[in-house]
Amino acid sequence: MIDVIDLHKSFGTQEVLRGVNLSVRQGELVAVIGQSGSGKSVLLKHLTGLLKPDRGSIVIDGTDITRLGGSPLDRVRERFGVVFQGGALFDSLTVYDNVAFPLREKTRLSEQDIRAKVLEALEDVGLTGMESKYSAELSGGMRKRAALARALITEPGIILFDEPTTGLDPITLHAIHKLITDTHKKYGFAGVIISHDIPEIFDVADRVAFLFEGVIEAVGTPEEIRCSTDEVVRQFVTGSLWGPIRTTQ
């Protein structure tokens, strides 16, 4: 579904991605973990075509999107759903209208059909009865749920999650992670999850990729990453201050 091949990106003299290679198979959830500033968000922006690499390719179902622009790139993007870190809901729209927005923009469905799809998506994320609420009236967890419903509404083949549980308490964090796994089982999308949630993300992902100093240092099942003998991986997973990783905070 997704193949990232030898991806390089620099901003001025700062080399952020130094040859990233990563594959995501159909229907697979892959978590990308790593230090703050390691390039995770930059990688995500490349996957959506918001950034162009200095070198390398991103192949989405056989199409190299780094070579596309304009309408051809927009057509590939229609296969994506994105759950942004803060939800990115429209403040002036209700939950219902936020979720309905992609259908109204991209399809010719009747309002009756749109309503049926919106209500189903809201039920899937546990927001039945919240249709008339505005973003400011929602808790952080509810905003994440509404954002997920909006991402699901067009039934995309790929959903990208940009730190979907940032700022949530531990109970709500686990609820959102369960929601991701439950909707993944129903819709079968391929997913890339940018996350700092160690070890919680290991219960969500099929595979985990550790991004370190601009390259994928390790990739494997959650258990393989947990049991890695790589000194850098072990330090990050355990959160130890002692090891080759130096904090910049």
Instruction: Break the chain into its structural domains and give their ranges.
Output: 1-79+160-249, 87-155
Q: Is the pLDDT of residue 54 over 70?
A: yes
The average pLDDT across 78-101 equals: 89
pLDDT of residue 80: 87
- Token pair belonging to 248: 């910049």
Q: Which residue did the predictor score with more confidence, 74 or 117?
A: 117
Helix or strand holding residue 33 (H, E): strand 29-33
CA distance linking residue 149 with residue 160, whole number of Å: 13
Which of 183, 165, 181, 172 is CA-nearest to residue 120?
A: 183
Report d(CA 126, CA 128) in Å as an integer.
6
**pTM of the predicted protein model:** 0.89
Burial of 231 (0-12, 13-18, 19+ CB in 10 A): exposed
Residue tagged 């201050």 (tokens):
241
Asked whether the beta carbons of 191 and 30 are under 8 A apart, the reply is yes
Which residues, in sequence order, are CB contacts of 190 under 8 Å at separation 6+?
A: 1, 2, 24, 25, 26, 27, 28, 29, 157, 158, 159
CATH homologous superfamily for the domain 1-79+160-249: P-loop containing nucleotide triphosphate hydrolases (3.40.50.300)
pLDDT digits (tens, 9 = 90+) for 92-123: 999 999 999 999 988 899 999 999 999 999 99
Gap between the Cα atoms of 182 and 99, Å rounded: 19
Q: Tell me what percent of the residues of the chain surpass a pLDDT of 70.
A: 98
In the predicted model, what is the mean pLDDT of residues 168-189? 91
Instruction: Check pLDDT > 70 for residue 20.
Output: yes
- Three-state DSSP state, 196: coil
Q: Is 148 exposed, middle or buried (CB count within 10 Å of its CB: 0-12, 13-18, 19+)?
A: buried
Does 51 score more than 60 pLDDT? Answer: yes
pLDDT at 10 over 80: yes
